[in-house]
Amino acid sequence: MALLCLFSFASVTPIFAQDKNSKSSPSSTERSSTTESLKDIKKEKKSRYSGSVNWSLSKNNDYYSDYFTDINPNLSYEVSERLSLSISSSYSQPVSQYDDKVKRHQLGDTSISMSGPIEFKDYTSVKVSASLGLGIPTSKASNFASKRFDLSTGLSLETSISNFDVSTSHELSYSNFKYETSDATGSTYNAPFGLSNSLSISKKIGAFGISQSLALYHTKNFANSTININIFNTSVSYTVSEKISASLSFNRKDRILTNNSYFDDDNTTISMALNIKI
């Protein structure tokens, strides 16, 4: 009987030992699966952040006829699947030293915005997104005009028509100023409210892309004077890689309903740009 019990114990013990070892030492397949899962988690965490830096060299064809460079950094954070937060700014620098009197050659205003899509999948193929923005007056021009802050709300729509991407954007903005005028003599009035509407049509042909857009900006200043501005832009882009693209663009901004002719080059620029995604 003692021999039988000893034999039974001896035969069962290795089974427990083998089961214990199998739990403490996972197979190579399990280790590989765990490693891939950890990599996926890291990718998901990193994908919440994205950014880009846009550098451009432009030639302005107005009275100054100057060359200038722009750097536009942008950083975005994905708060959730339907909401993203971004911050952007800009810095302009004249190429020629005697062009430092042009006001745009400076640090631009800082913009903080939150945007997200609005789903209408069951009703239409149009993609709709909404945004809220806060502008911080970090530029010399805004500070000189006594601007305190900007608030904006916008709506954009995007769809495809005959292999063309068509999009529209609509934005209502409010600017808060300390004073009604923006110059020492009190002859130039600030404009607290603004409404902008734009239409863009673009098409991709392989690595190349072409875009045509028209924007209309309407505002009224503290003197109750209405100002209408149209902005016309044409650009051709080339995708170098997944994170690098280059473009060449023509941009013209002009007042509407003034004594100036339509092609008077009030503010016309030709630009080369390089965009790098981070």
Q: Are residues 35 and 64 in the same domain?
A: no
Same domain, 148 and 33: no
189, 273: one domain:
yes
Separation between Cα atoms, residue 176 and residue 90, nearest integer Å = 21
> Do residue 24 and residue 136 come from a single domain?
no
Domain extent, residue 67, equals 51-277
Res 105: pLDDT: 58
Same domain, 266 and 170: yes
pLDDT tier, 95 (very low <50, low <70, confident <90, very high otherwise):
low
Tokens 């997104």 sit on residue:
129
The number of C-alpha atoms within 13 Å of 102 and in the hemisphere containing its C-beta is 20
Question: What's this model's pTM, rounded to 2 decimal places?
Answer: 0.74
Helices (H) and strands (E) in the chain, counts: 3, 13
Specify the pLDDT at position 18: 47
Residues 273 and 205 in one domain: yes
**Is 132 found in the same domain as 35?**
no
Neighbour-count burial of 73, counting CB atoms closer than 10 A to its CB (0-12 exposed, 13-18 middle, 19+ buried):
middle
Domain boundary among 13, 28, 47: 47
Same-domain pairing of 36 and 72: no
Output phi, psi for 190, to 5 deg.
-75, 160
Residue carrying structure tokens 């729509």: 157
Mean pLDDT over 173-191 rounds to 88
**Residue 79 and residue 33 share a domain:** no
Indicate whether 62 and 170 sit together in one domain. yes
- Give me the CATH number covering residue 264: 2.40.160.40
- Between residues 31 and 99, the one the model is more confident about: 31
Cα distances (Å, whole numbers) of residue 263 to 51, 111, 266 = 37, 31, 8
Position 267 scores a pLDDT of 75
pLDDT band for position 255 (cuts 50, 70, 90):
confident
pLDDT in tens, 259-268: 544 444 467 8
> Domain total for the chain?
2
